[in-house]
Structure 1
C-alpha cells in the first residue's frame, strides 16, 4: 500500500468494493467529501497501483460454468513459477493460480461446464508442464466471497 493512504482512502476503497458503479458523489456522501475530491483520490489510488481497476463480475453459472474446483498441483522436480504461468495462461478454464508453501507446489482454481469438462481440463493441466500429480476438490456451496 502507499504511504499516504489514510482512513478516507480506505473508506473509498470499501465503498467501491461494495458497489463499483457508485458515482463519486455517492461515495463522497458516505465518506464526507465532494465528488471532485473523491475523483482525485480514486485517480491517485489508480495511479499508485492500490486500486487496480473496475470490472463486471458475472455469475459463472449464467455462462454455463457450473463446476468449480481447486486443484493442488505437485510438480516433478523444480519448475519455475513463470513456466507454470506460461503453460496455464492459455487454458481458459483456469481462473486463478498460485504458487504455495507446503507440500503442493501450486493451487489452481478451475471452472468447467460439467464433470467431463473438468476431467478434460485436469488432463490439460497435467500435460502442460512437468506435473507429477494433482489432487482435486470440487466446490459445492459458496459460503463467503470477498473482493
Structure 2
C-alpha cells in the first residue's frame, strides 16, 4: 500500500502526537474531523497504521546507556532463531538482520556500563552466536519516529 499526500500528512500529524484530535488534524490538512476519522480507520484497516503508542525516554526508566551489538551467527541460523533468542531480553529495543559481515544488529538500552556488559555476555553466550562486536552511543544526534517520503 502506498499513502497519498493527504494520508501521509495525517500519519505524520499522528506520529507527532497520537493524542491529537481529529478536528485538530483536520484543520492542519484541510478536512473535517469525520473525514479524518474515516481516513484513519481505513489506514488502520489496511495495515498502514499498525497502532498507537507512547514514546518514553529510556533514561526516565533508568536506562542511561545505549549501544549496538553486531551478532555473528553459527551457520544455518535462521532469522527466527535470532528473534526468539533476542526477544527474551528486555534490554533489546530493536533488532534486525543486516547486510555486511554481521548477521544481525541489536540496539540495547542498559542502566549502566556493567549492565550493558552483562547483556553483551548473555547474548554472546546464546547457542546460535559465534561472536559479537559492540559499540556504545556517546551522544544521539538524530532520532526520528517516522520516515518522511521523498517520492513525488
TM-score interval, normalised by the smaller of the two chains: over 0.9
* 1: CA distance, partners of 2:143 / 2:124: 28
Alignment of 1:29-40 (within 5 A): 29-40=27-38
Alignment of 1:65-76 (within 5 A): 65-76=63-74
* 1: CA distance, partners of 2:16 / 2:54: 13
Match of 1:41 in 2: 39
What's the TM-score once normalised by structure 1's chain length?
0.95
Deviation of the 1:129 alpha carbon? 3.1
Alignment of 1:1-147 (within 5 A): 1-2=1-2, 5-147=3-145
| Unpaired runs of at least 5, structure 1 | none
* 2: CA distance, partners of 1:89 / 1:129: 15
Deviation of the 1:132 alpha carbon? 1.2
* 2: CA distance, partners of 1:54 / 1:123: 34
Deviation of the 1:128 alpha carbon? 2.1
Deviation of the 1:78 alpha carbon? 2.3
* 1: CA distance, partners of 2:138 / 2:47: 34
Aligned residues: 145
* 2: CA distance, partners of 1:39 / 1:127: 49
Q: 1:40-68, CA deviations, whole angstroms, 9 ceiling, x for partnerless residues? A: 10011111110111111111111100001
Deviation of the 1:73 alpha carbon? 0.7
| Unpaired runs of at least 5, structure 2 | 146-152
Deviation of the 1:76 alpha carbon? 1.9
Match of 2:150 in 1: none
Deviates more, 1:25-34 or 1:120-129: 120-129
Structure 1 residue ranges (4+ consecutive) displaced by more than 3 angstroms after TM superposition: none
